[in-house]
Amino acid sequence: MKKKLNILVLLDVAGPTALDEDLSASLQTEDWKTQANVLAALAQLGHTVEYLAIFDDLDLLRQKFLTFTPDLIFNLADQFKNNRAFDQNIVSFLEMHGNAFTGCGSTGLTLCKHKAISKKILSYHRIHVPQFTVIARGKRGSRPARLKFPILVKPLKEEASYGISQASFVETDEQFKERVQFIHEKHNHDVIAEEYIAGREFYVSLLGNHQLTVFPIRELVFQEVPPDEPKIATYRAKWDEEYRKRWGLQNQFAEGLDPGLTKDILQTCKRIYRLLTIDGYARIDLRVTPNNEIYFIEANPNPMLAADEDFAQSALKSGLAYPQLIERIIRTGLKTVRE
């Protein structure tokens, strides 16, 4: 029997909050199912659990520590002041404090969040990445001639497919210019424009620091999307149930993969995880072309942990039930050396 721990679950909220804020109403909602699932699992595991939500005031952590001394912080805070780019700063603060916490450290979060830096590192190590260009806000940016259509125009540092719709897929310079301007002005983000990689879309979940466990591969299938149409996990494709039904979008286990290809995918993902200095747990998004070329799309350290999301579903398939997965994440967090 492993030692029971004092665990502080760190959450983010969308507006100013108090030390003893009661979040039980939010925890009933669909939006908070990750937080609710994790809290329930921690209770089931017998740990002593408290939570703290932060908006823009890290002093709440200091105040919380006056009455509760956690062995570990379970980090579910991925924004600060409603800004998702600050996840790495929250973690930097925990690192400076010397708190043990779950998930990825500040360097991994920073490298993965920046969709151009991560690709530069991986391409140096000969992992296939789409050709891309970055266009900062305030720059007019036209398409470099080496970048071939079709192109996908994305925010440089976003997640959850914010800013990604069918209009992100562009086939002319006119559409390119329009979409870049839209992301600059309406989303207030710099742009990364990438060559569109046609192929199957895979999600690979990994856990660990040095010794890595790779869980069974998931795939997003686009059953009702005609073969010649672009297949993109847009914002609606991820979050709009009606839309998912209409186009036959389904997250499922990858079927019919050649064993050699499966092995290549798993090896590639382990290399990516290490090269981007990820620790804790992560989901890596790939595309595999009809010629079985593996392309890196994105690494997601601290992916969504809800029991019905790809990460937990993959773990479950390999025999790791949800509370045991949460326990593994905790033990991994306790072992991580942060400096």
Ligand X SMILES: Nc1ncnc2c1ncn2[C@@H]1O[C@H](COP(=O)(O)OP(=O)(O)O)[C@@H](O)[C@H]1O
Q: Does 219 bind Mg ion (CB under 5 A)?
A: no
* Residue 204 contact partner, candidates Mg ion, ligand X, none, CB within 5 to 8 A by sort of partner: none
Task: Kindly report the number of other CB atoms within 10 A of residue 116's CB atom.
Answer: 16
Residue 19 tokens, joined? 């030390």
Shortest distance, position 298 Cβ to Mg ion, whole Å: 4
Shortest distance, position 197 Cβ to ligand X, whole Å: 4
HEC secondary structure over the chain? CCCCCEEEEEEECCCCCCCCCCCCCHHHCHHHHHHHHHHHHHHHCCCEEEEEEECCCCHHHHHHHCCCCCCEEEEECCCECCEHHHHHHHHHHHHHHCCCECCCCHHHHHHHHCCCHHHHHHHHCCCCCCCEEEECCCCCCCCCCCCCCCEEEEECCCCCCCCCCHHHEECCHHHHHHHHHHHHHCCCCCEEEEECCCCEEEEEEEEECCCEEECCCEEEEECCCCCCCCCCCCHHHHHCHHHHHHHCEEEEECCCCCHHHHHHHHHHHHHHHHHCCCCEEEEEEEEECCCCCEEEEEEEECCCCCCCCHHHHHHHHCCCCHHHHHHHHHHHHHHCCCC
Residue nearest to ligand X (CB): 233
Q: Does 50 bind Mg ion (CB under 5 A)?
A: no
* Residue 194 contact partner, candidates Mg ion, ligand X, none, CB within 5 to 8 A by sort of partner: ligand X
Shortest distance, position 188 Cβ to ligand X, whole Å: 15
The smaller minimum CB distance to ligand X, of residues 190 and 285, is found at 285
Q: Does 194 bind Mg ion (CB under 5 A)?
A: no
Q: Does 158 bind Mg ion (CB under 5 A)?
A: no
Site residues (vs ligand X, CB under 6 A): 130, 152, 154, 158-162, 164, 194, 196-197, 201, 232-233, 285, 287, 297-298
* Residue 221 contact partner, candidates Mg ion, ligand X, none, CB within 5 to 8 A by sort of partner: none
Question: Bridge partners of 152?
Answer: 169, 194
Token look-up 């209009």 returns 167
* Residue 232 contact partner, candidates Mg ion, ligand X, none, CB within 5 to 8 A by sort of partner: ligand X
Determine which residue in the list 298, 317, 328, 336 makes contact with Mg ion, applying CB under 5 A.
Answer: 298
Q: Does 201 bind Mg ion (CB under 5 A)?
A: no
Shortest distance, position 152 Cβ to Mg ion, whole Å: 12
The smaller minimum CB distance to ligand X, of residues 72 and 297, is found at 297
The smaller minimum CB distance to ligand X, of residues 70 and 130, is found at 130
* Cis-peptide into 150, omega within 30 deg: yes
The smaller minimum CB distance to Mg ion, of residues 54 and 220, is found at 220
The smaller minimum CB distance to Mg ion, of residues 70 and 303, is found at 303
Q: Any residues with CB less than 8 A from the CB of 30 and at least 6 apart, and which? A: none
* Residue 71 contact partner, candidates Mg ion, ligand X, none, CB within 5 to 8 A by sort of partner: none
The smaller minimum CB distance to ligand X, of residues 12 and 327, is found at 12
Shortest distance, position 302 Cβ to Mg ion, whole Å: 13
The smaller minimum CB distance to Mg ion, of residues 9 and 305, is found at 305
* Residue 158 contact partner, candidates Mg ion, ligand X, none, CB within 5 to 8 A by sort of partner: ligand X
Report the largest interatomic distance among the alpha carbons of the chain, rounded to a whole angstrom: 63
Shortest distance, position 195 Cβ to ligand X, whole Å: 6
Residues interacting with Mg ion, by CB under 5 A? 285, 298
